[in-house]
Amino acid sequence: LEVAERIAAGEVIERPASVVKELLENALDAGAHELRIEIRGGGLRMIRVTDDGYGIPEHELEAVCQRHTTSKIRTFEDLSALHTFGFRGEALASIATIAEITILSRTVEAEQQDDEQAAFWITLRGNEMIQRGRRARLHGTTITVRDLFYNVPARLSFMRGARTENSHILQLVRKYAAGYPATRFTLILDEHLALQTSGSGSVVEALTELYHLSLKELLSPIELSDGAHYRLYGYLGNRILAQHNRQYLTLFVNGRLVNSRGLQEALEQGYRSLLPKGKHPLLVLHIEVPPPELDANIHPAKAEVQLVYEKEITRVLTQAVQSVLEHNPV
Ligand code: ADP
Ligand code: MG
């Protein structure tokens, strides 16, 4: 395997939480209602994500780990009409290059054909197929990643302890669970249940389950759209819920968890009269923009986005947050 390939893969996959993010997004893209994430040794020993999505057909199992394989763009035009998350078809290929990966899957169709043994699995290590087989399972996909970075010593030496990696994973899963309240999330860290949501569909309920607080009176809904360039919706936590860092500031753009300085600052600006400096709000906000107005193509690992109408949107965001908080003082 080319050293350059491993380095490139190590750039897409920065740490175990990056693997978890890619696997979660794929499972959500596949329509999962139930998602189970199991982690061992900070994710370096094992990461396993099990979903009940539509599954991967047997003849595609090998291909999904090849670079640029994606079921999410068929034609060039699709690129600008893209609604799903990743579109590069790079995540699984990168993971397979720097770890051992086992993909077990059964499609909804196979299940309808009533063939008990119609779940297929394949294991690759350093992107070479080492084993395959079939067994029974319900429809959906289980992806198990072992020995992450086994062939990227530079990355491995950069890893912090399992506790640090676990806390990155916990924060990430919490954010997704808050953003997708209709999906039931379970996170198990070294055999301990770290988080579980009911998948009821209610954001307030999901947040209550995630943060172990009764939040009902402490959250204000926000919803706004100009009918063309943006739609915003979510919940804003009041000042009692403020934090010392941004770990409870959860922002999705077109369903994808993002890290955007500009948008974060616009939100915090809306809280300015309420929160002292250095305090950050708890909130869950979805921003939907027409796909051509979003460039998520900056860097696959960075979760950064650039919006065509960012300036207008940040202005609207600040105003909307201010006005919601003014009308719901706590
Ligand atoms: P991308 O998500 O950008 O298409 P990935 O490398 O993440 O690229 O995944 C490659 C392909 O593997 C996806 O396009 C999808 O067809 C398939 N796939 C991956 N994970 C799942 C899953 N959990 N359920 C169904 N299909 C999946
Ligand atoms: Mg993907």
What does the pLDDT look like over 117-156, one tens digit per residue?
Answer: 789 999 999 889 999 999 999 999 999 999 999 998 888 8
Whether 163 and 228 map to the same domain: the answer is no
**Torsional sign, CA 149, 250, 304, 24:** positive
pLDDT at position 297 is 56
Whether 234 and 103 map to the same domain: the answer is no
What does the pLDDT look like over 57-68, one tens digit per residue?
Answer: 999 998 888 876
> Tell me, what amino acid is at 209?
E
Domain assignment present for 211 = no
Least confident residue range of 4-18, 52-66, 146-160 = 4-18
Domain assignment present for 210 = no
Helices and strands: H and E segment counts in the chain: 9, 15
| Domain end call among 196, 225, 247 | 196
Residue 300's pLDDT band (boundaries 50, 70, 90)?
low
Residue 9's pLDDT band (boundaries 50, 70, 90)?
confident
Whether 170 and 315 map to the same domain: the answer is no
Number of domains forming the structure of the chain:
2
Contact 122, 131 (CB under 8 A): yes
Count of beta carbons in the 10 Å neighbourhood of residue 192: 9
**Is the CB of 88 within 6 Å of ligand 1?**
yes
Whether 102 and 141 map to the same domain: the answer is yes
Whether 40 and 91 map to the same domain: the answer is yes
| Domain end call among 128, 162, 196 | 196
The domain that contains 240 carries what CATH number?
A: 3.30.230.10
Whether 58 and 176 map to the same domain: the answer is yes
**Is the CB of 38 within 6 Å of ligand 1?**
no
Whether 34 and 142 map to the same domain: the answer is yes
pLDDT at position 330 is 64
The domain that contains 175 carries what CATH number?
A: 3.30.565.10
The arithmetic mean of pLDDT across residues 90-97, rounded, is 90
Question: What pTM value is reported for the model?
Answer: 0.91
From the CA of 145, the nearest ligand is 1
Looking at ligand 1, which residue's alpha carbon is closest to its atom 25? 55
Gap between the Cα atoms of 261 and 134, Å rounded: 46
Whether 239 and 188 map to the same domain: the answer is no
Domain assignment present for 298 = yes
Whether 116 and 164 map to the same domain: the answer is yes
Domain assignment present for 205 = no
Question: What is the ipTM metric for this complex?
Answer: 0.99
Of the chain, the percentage scoring pLDDT greater than 90 comes to 58
pLDDT over 60 (residue 158): yes
**Is the CB of 52 within 6 Å of ligand 1?**
no
Domain assignment present for 207 = no
Gap between the Cα atoms of 104 and 318, Å rounded: 45
**Is the CB of 30 within 6 Å of ligand 1?**
yes
Whether 9 and 125 map to the same domain: the answer is yes
Domain assignment present for 209 = no
Whether 98 and 182 map to the same domain: the answer is yes
How many angstroms separate the Cα of 159 from the Cα of each of 41, 46, 194, 227? 12, 15, 21, 45
Gap between the Cα atoms of 137 and 99, Å rounded: 24
Q: Sheet holding 231-237: strands in order across?
A: 219-225, 231-237, 283-288, 249-253, 256-257
The arithmetic mean of pLDDT across residues 299-325, rounded, is 83
Domain assignment present for 201 = no
User: What is 150-208 written as a DSSP string?
Assistant: TT-HHHHHH---HHHHHHHHHHHHHHHHHH-TTSEEEEEETTEEEEE----S-HHHHHH
For a mutational test of ligand 1's pocket, the pick from 20, 21, 26, i.e. the residue with the most ligand atoms closer than 8 A to its C-beta, is 26
Gap between the Cα atoms of 104 and 133, Å rounded: 9
Measured from the CA of 86, which atom of ligand 1 is nearest? 3
Paired tokens of 214: 């009764």
Domain assignment present for 285 = yes
Whether 136 and 284 map to the same domain: the answer is no
What are the b/e assignments for 248-267, b being 16+ CB within 10 Å?
A: bbbbbbbbbbbebebbbebb
Domain containing 11: what range?
A: 3-196
